[in-house]
Structure 1
Amino acid sequence: MKKYRSADLDTGVIAYETEADSISVKFRDGSVYVYTNKSAGPAAIAEMKILAEKGVGLTTYINRHVREHYEKKLR
């Protein structure tokens, strides 16, 4: 997983990993959630990837738009 740029600040997301149709997000508590085109929608996944690469706004986006729309929780 790639370190999320804002991970040193007060944010919930600390790392992420993207694939063609999904993004896995690791949170400060160690949990990892996988969001997919099927579970959250292609537009949301595209936006999450952009925010992840920028290193800002991903936690807020998840909380406001896709919080419960994950495909699975890994840990």
Structure 2
Amino acid sequence: MDLPPFKPYANRSGQSGVPAYALLPSSILLRFADDRYIYLYDDVEPGAADVEAMHERAEAGSGLATYVNQHVRNRYHARFDPPG
């Protein structure tokens, strides 16, 4: 799978565990600082409402990791090894 380019997460609190993300129309890919994998969250898992909330927080640069920890946890659609 070819992955889209990732954007650095703004991390306005300075304490986020998410260094980078990539937005797709109905999904989001996340990298976590303490994990080597890339996680896909989409309209199937965890669902469209959660993905929309994650999109908003990613673009705002605030609250993304907290949202994942409090609402999504391990409900991701797929996990990938990073390229290279």
TM-score between the two structures when normalised by the length of structure 1? 0.91
Cα RMSD after superposing both structures? 1.5
Query: Larger deviation: 17-26 or 4-13?
Result: 4-13
Runs of 4+ that moved beyond 2 A:
none
Equivalence for 2:31? 26
Partner of 1:6 in structure 2? 11
Per-residue CA deviation, residues 18-72 of structure 1 (Å, 9 max, x unaligned), is 1111000011123311101001111100000000000000000000111111011
TM-score norm. by structure 2 comes to 0.82
What is the identity, as a one-letter code, of the residue corresponding to 1:35? Answer: Y
1:7 positional shift: 7.5
User: Could you say what secondary structure the match of 1:49 adopts?
Assistant: helix
Which sections of structure 2, spanning at least 5 residues, go unmatched?
A: 1-5
Q: Aligned partners of 1:22 and 1:45: how far apart in 2?
A: 6
Structure that is richer in strand per residue? 1
Sequence identity percentage: 36
Alignment map for 1:36-47 (pairs within 5 Å): 36-47=42-53
Please state how far the C-alpha of 1:5 moved relative to its aligned partner.
Answer: 0.1
Question: How far apart are the structure 1 equivalents of 2:50 and 2:31?
Answer: 17
